[in-house]
Structure 1
Amino acid sequence: MTMPVRQAISPVEARGFDTQELRRNFLIESIFTPGRIGLTYSHLDRTIVGGAMPLAGEIVLATEKQVGSDPFLKRREMGVFNIGGAGEVVIDGEAMIAESTDCIYVPAGTGDVRFRSRSSDDPAKFYLVSTPAHTAHPVRRITAEDANRLDLGAQSDANRRILRQYIHPDICETCQLVMGMTVIEDGSVWNTMPCHTHDRRTEFYLYFDMASQTRVFHFMGEPDETRHLVVANEQAILSPGWSIHCGAGTGRYAFIWSMAGDNQDFNDMDFVAMEDLR
């Protein structure tokens, strides 16, 4: 397992970044490596994000120096979202089925976590998000049917989308982690527009379910100093609380969002008027 570190970046610094610096600091270009776990440690709310893609054998979640404790989840909780073939997440010896679009909540204090694919020809792709936690809550498997469904946007604005809240206070008790999935409907391109910031929470996006030539133009930066990143399939964005986060795709796409910070209030957003965007 590898775990590079991303430092927190201030808006003043980000104003001077060129494209390569923006990508180096805010984009994770490779999430899934066959047969391995790859994680990135971000100083944005000390969130760890990455992926596990088991093939014929199982992969064990091991700790790293950056975590500062052993086992990995001694003082952390984790959301595990499968976007690949069927698999299992083994939590302290108990195997939990994880079909595609299932999410598993793994609590603080868990000693041993392993990942398996049902078939190496159609391997599971487990997207992992871990945040600091102060207490343990029950393990949960959450399916798309279990999640809160919100139908948002309008075709006239090209932003019809289905948002599902998986790890959310109404569904699954956690310390601070919130996690869900948004699918852009056919014929729409925009997500999260009008855009917003939420200075009390960090957000991470994993864009997926995209054709090889599809790209999402992810907009970031302060409202009056916007920038953009061109994002391919199964790449992730780190979004500081001071930054807007919205996007438009050249074709079909979906994304998994996660948040951590001072609260779990999904509606705690500071909306940005269209006339204030620059």
Structure 2
Amino acid sequence: MDIEIRNPWHPDDAKHYTTDRMRNDFLIQNLFTPNKVRLVYSHVDRIIVGGICPADEVLKLEAGHELGVDYFLERRELGLINVGGEGTVILDGEEFVLGHKDGLYAGMGIKEVAFKSTDPANPAKFYMNSTPAHRKCPTVKITLEMANKRPLGSLEECNKRTINQYIHPAVCESCQLSMGMTALDVGSNWNTMPCHTHERRMEVYFYFELGEEDVVFHMMGEPQETRHIVMRNEEAVISPSWSIHSGVGTKNYTFIWGMAGENQTFDDMDDVAMKDLR
């Protein structure tokens, strides 16, 4: 199991970053390698972003030296959404079968976490977010149908989309983690614009359902010091609380968002007027 450490950033420093530095610090690539667990530990709210792709092996989630505990969920909670073929998550011996776009919330205190695929030729791809927790919440499997749905935008504004809230107070209990999936309609390519920040929470985006020749220009930075990162299929990006997080693609796409911080109030946002963007 590979855990990469990412240190935090001050917005005054990020103003001077080159393209390579932006990509090196904020972009997360190569999340899904067959029979590998890939984790990135960000010191921004200590979120862990991961990709788990069991092919013909059973993969285990272990704590490692970086967490300083005996097992991964000793002081953490976990959310994941399967973006690949059917697979199974095993939590202390109990099995949860997840189809494409099924999600799962696992609470603090579970000692053994393992993953396997139903068909090695079409392996599961478990995209994962994990945050520190101070209390145990019940484990819940969340299908796309169970997610709380919020339609937003319009075709005229190129941003018609549906927000599917998976780990959210309207769906299941969690300690601090929030997680969901936003799908853009055909003919729409903008997400989260007009944009916002939320000082009380950080966020991670994971873009998928893009073709080989498609990209998303992910917008970030302070509202008056915007930058962009060119992103491709199945890549994630870390967004500190001071940064906007919007994107525009060469076609419609889907992305998974995960948040950690002071609250779980989805609409607690500091909106940015379009005239103030630079």
Aligned letter for 1:98? L
Match of 2:263 in 1: 263
Aligned letter for 2:215? R
Q: Between Structure 1 and Structure 2, how many residues are aligned? A: 278
Match of 2:136 in 1: 136
Residue 56 (structure 2) pairs with residue 52 (structure 1): no
CA distance in structure 2 between the aligned counterparts of 1:195 and 1:214, rounded to whole angstroms: 22
Identity %: 50
CA distance in structure 2 between the aligned counterparts of 1:10 and 1:198, rounded to whole angstroms: 16
Once the two structures are superposed, residues 23-57 of structure 1 have per-residue CA deviations (whole angstroms, 9 ceiling, x without a partner) of 01110021111111000000010000011000112
Q: 1:252 Cα shift?
A: 2.8
Once the two structures are superposed, residues 102-133 of structure 1 have per-residue CA deviations (whole angstroms, 9 ceiling, x without a partner) of 11101100000000100011100000110000
Match of 2:187 in 1: 187
Q: Secondary structure of 1:275's match?
A: helix
Match of 1:246 in 2: 246
Contact 1:205 1:238 in 2 (8 A): yes
Q: Secondary structure of 1:73's match?
A: helix
Match of 2:202 in 1: 202
Q: Which residues in structure 2 correspond to 1:217-228 (within 5 Å)? A: 217-228=217-228
CA distance in structure 2 between the aligned counterparts of 1:11 and 1:79, rounded to whole angstroms: 28
Once the two structures are superposed, residues 184-234 of structure 1 have per-residue CA deviations (whole angstroms, 9 ceiling, x without a partner) of 110011000100000110100000011011100000000000000000000
Q: TM-score, normalised by structure 1?
A: 0.99
Q: Secondary structure of 1:44's match?
A: coil
Aligned letter for 1:204? V
Match of 2:272 in 1: 272
Match of 1:116 in 2: 116
Stretches of structure 2 lacking an aligned partner (at least 5 in a row) = none
Aligned letter for 2:174? T
Contact 1:160 1:185 in 2 (8 A): yes
Q: TM-score, normalised by structure 2?
A: 0.99
Match of 2:126 in 1: 126
Match of 1:158 in 2: 158
Q: Which residues in structure 2 correspond to 1:26-105 (within 5 Å)? A: 26-105=26-105
Match of 2:211 in 1: 211
Once the two structures are superposed, residues 123-169 of structure 1 have per-residue CA deviations (whole angstroms, 9 ceiling, x without a partner) of 00000110000011111000011010111101110000011000001
Q: Which runs of 4+ in 1 moved over 3 A?
A: none
Q: Secondary structure of 2:35's match?
A: coil
Aligned letter for 1:39? L
After superposition, the CA RMSD in angstroms is 0.6
CA distance in structure 2 between the aligned counterparts of 1:76 and 1:274, rounded to whole angstroms: 38
